[in-house]
């Protein structure tokens, strides 16, 4: 005669990682629930991109600098900004970017991409217009 109660099924990998091998209902009333390990559930990270369509004043640049310090990618459109203020904002943001060791790319006329050091920016080479063949 075989005793089927003595045979225990080994928990699978999923049960060992997430369930500890036993469900909450199988625990004795005096026994505490197992604590899950911190590696069992990995956090999901969000990546923030802030698009500042129109920067009109220096306070907008300060908000962009604070966002960059928090690790958020900034896209600044300075095309509607006065030329003197535009140059001051570019100089200020370039200094903040340098201090953060981020990446600075001009993606259009007076439009800038400022990225924290945690992100990688790949700039594709520009493709020129094909020249027509002349006879």
Cα 74 to Cα 88: distance, rounded to the nearest angstrom: 17
pLDDT of 41 > 50? The answer is: yes
Segment 100-122 shows an average pLDDT of 88
Residue 19 has pLDDT above 90, yes or no: no
Cα–Cα dist 9/100, whole Å: 54
Q: Could you give the domains of the chain?
A: 50-115 (3.30.110.150)
d(CA 85, CA 95): 15
Give the pLDDT confidence score for residue 92 in this predicted structure. 94
Q: Could you tell me the pLDDT band of residue 40, with boundaries at 50, 70 and 90?
A: low
**Residues 103/109, Cβ–Cβ less than 8 Å:** no
């Amino acid at each position: 005669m075989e005793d089927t109660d003595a045979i225990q099924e080994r928990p699978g990998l999923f049960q060992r990682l997430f369930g500890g091998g036993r469900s909450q209902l199988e625990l004795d009333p005096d026994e505490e629930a197992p604590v899950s390990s911190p590696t069992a559930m990995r956090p999901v990270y969000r990546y923030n991109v802030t698009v500042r369509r129109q920067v009109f004043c220096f306070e907008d640049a300060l908000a962009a600098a604070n966002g960059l310090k928090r690790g958020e990618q900034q896209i600044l459109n300075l095309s509607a900004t006065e030329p003197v203020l535009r140059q001051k904002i570019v100089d200020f943001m370039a200094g903040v970017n340098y201090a953060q060791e981020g990446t600075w790319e001009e993606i259009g006329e007076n439009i800038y991409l400022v990225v924290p050091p945690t992100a990688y920016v790949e700039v594709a080479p520009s493709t020129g217009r094909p020249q027509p063949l002349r006879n």
